[in-house]
Structure 1
Amino acid sequence: MTGINWWGFVGVVLVAYLVPGPDFAVVLRSAARRPRAGVAAAAGAQVGLCAHMVLAVVGLSVVLARHPDALTAIRVLGGAYLLYLGGRLIIPTLRRRGRSPAAEEPVSTRSAFAHGLFTNLLNPKAVLFFAAVLPQFVVPGVAPVAVQVAALGLLDVLLGVLPWSIVVALGVRVAGVLRRPRVRRWWDRVTGTALAGLGGGLVLVRE
């Protein structure tokens, strides 16, 4: 598959990873609570990406992208989920003084993995990436389309190791500062507001 513009694809993928979005916010928040939770959230996001890749290989992502009602349902569910995550961070900081309950409770790797997984699965931008952006790098005649999509999708998943490692490391770096109750409360409010804002944007956006 020498005819594929691999370096161009790598550049597009890395930019997509590093532009802050729902996955970025969930991984950073999890890593700031606990390093292993950050790794688990990143792994969950990549597993979700694998699911999108499988859908693209069998052609379902293209079908979803061409049917606004299906894509709208995914968008609304994803937005509602982000609103839920944001609310879980913000509400406890408003009800009590001192350390927020969310900060005191350990974040399990299973919970972090699930947050990363569902955030990615319900992200309509991931569907559109595999349905509209990735096909631009498919070269007719080089290899079967399904094989090219699978190869590009697998590269996308593997490339995520580097940017997610950077995000997790960033979360670990700020974890020490977040041990201060006042800073933790404001961190939860800011990250919760960011997640809720992303979720509200998905719910309210007009096609």
Structure 2
Amino acid sequence: MITLSAVGGVALVELGMALTPGPNMIHLASRAITQGRRAGLVSLGGTAVGFVCYLVASAAGLSALFTAVPVAYTVVKLAGAAYLAYLAWGMLKPGGRSPFAPTQDLLPVSDARLFSTGLLTNLLNPKIALLYAALLPQFLDSRAGPAWAQLLQLGGVQIVVGITVNALIMLGAARISGCLAARPRVMTTQRFAAGGLLGVFALRTALSRTPVSS
């Protein structure tokens, strides 16, 4: 059984990543603003299924791969840290953009297209791949049972936090967009806070140890 500290750690990591602008947030916010909350919820359903796909793949093989080939984890870890640092710079540099001010005029599409786009956006999201490949293994504990069982539990925590945050963002996208557009200082604060959190995660990822074996 995973510890409360592991649950809290995963929840904080996912909270920080979910609040950092990325493909999922931009897609959901844009759809909700352009096509309405219902469209955003359908897209969110696809996003949720994408999380589950990553969770199953992670529990089935990632931990075994990293145990058998430690260098594979090192490569993923360093690549992930570099990517997080890149995202952090994208938020912190002058002119960084908030996802709550979409510039594209999206045409309405069917529910099937909304769902599939939400799914593919999540499956192709480097942040989520990084989360399952390099971040969740940091919270594994050799005393807490098989690695795959811990990954299922930790992944469940990530999914609950991720879907909750994305749902709240999507439901409030139009209001948040108008609020931030009228308050440049608040938008700047949001960008720096998100970028700072991402920088912390980048450093933690780079310094993390190889995950324990199952």
Question: If the TM-score is normalised by the length of the shorter chain, which range does it land in?
Answer: 0.5 to 0.7
Q: Give TM-score, length-normalised by structure 1.
A: 0.61
Q: How far off is 1:139 after superposition?
A: 0.7
Distance, in Å, in 2 between the alignment partners of 1:134 and 1:4 is 14
Distance, in Å, in 2 between the alignment partners of 1:30 and 1:150 is 30
In the TM superposition, what are the counterparts of 1:74-153 in structure 2 within 5 Å?
102-103=106-107, 106-153=108-155
Q: Give TM-score, length-normalised by structure 2.
A: 0.59
Distance, in Å, in 2 between the alignment partners of 1:161 and 1:145 is 24
Are 2:10 and 1:9 equivalent residues in the alignment? yes
| Structure 1: 5+ residue stretches without partners | 72-88, 94-99, 177-207
Q: How far off is 1:165 after superposition?
A: 2.1
SS of structure 2 residue aligned to 1:107: coil
Distance, in Å, in 2 between the alignment partners of 1:174 and 1:24 is 13
Percent identity of equivalent pairs: 32
The verdict on how the C-alpha distance between 1:34 and 1:62 changes in structure 2, with shifts beyond 3 A counting, is: farther
The verdict on how the C-alpha distance between 1:3 and 1:166 changes in structure 2, with shifts beyond 3 A counting, is: closer
| Structure 2: 5+ residue stretches without partners | 80-101, 179-214
Tell me, yes or no, if the aligned pair for 2:63 and 2:147 is still in contact at 8 Å. Answer: no
Find the counterpart in structure 2 of residue 81 from structure 1.
none
Find the counterpart in structure 1 of residue 187 from structure 2.
none
The verdict on how the C-alpha distance between 1:120 and 1:2 changes in structure 2, with shifts beyond 3 A counting, is: closer
Measured on the aligned residues, the alpha-carbon RMSD in Å equals 3.2
Find the counterpart in structure 2 of residue 21 from structure 1.
22
Cα deviation 1:49-103 (Å, max 9, x = unaligned): 11011110011487599397xx9xxxxxxxxxxxxxxxxx98xx8xxxxxx6x44
Identify the match of residue 48 of structure 1 among 6, 31, 50.
Answer: 50
Matched residue count: 148
